[in-house]
Structure 1
């Protein structure tokens, strides 16, 4: 004669499995996947690329002699903002660095 588990034990086991799977799925819904967070150095890389673009624009003659001082000033401001954002990693510093890089990029993008 084969042994059969009582109804209560089978029901409890199935209910436990259902609750575990359900809780895992609820965790996915409660906190949706947002992707890989950006590197803390992403703004530094962006600044270095923008700096190289500015150097290229300067060497090609795309920057007028009157705008060179403005370009240097914006480059210095962007550098300081990016270094602060890299060091402090706060949202306000990140926004300031983003704005400084954007201003720097638009200064020679004519």
Structure 2
């Protein structure tokens, strides 16, 4: 699983001149100019993030020929003749852009 750090906070500290970044033995470190303390970037506070789930609306002709479109991730049905114009699935929150392995139609 990927790990994320709060890069905005780190950039703000570096831009203020409070921290300096450098590489040692293949690892990135930050040194605080005030205390002189070094912190390995991997020990920086974690950011609160969630991975983006990509999906697409499955054409009703691909399943029962009716007017129900389905989310490719959770199967949530949306009754409409035209392709739903919502950018996210109302049930699972998948981003309906077809991204990653869900090639757009």
TM-score by length of 2: 0.25
TM-score by length of 1: 0.25
More strand by share: 2
Q: Which has the higher contact order (CA 8 A, sep 6+)?
A: 1
More helix by share: 1
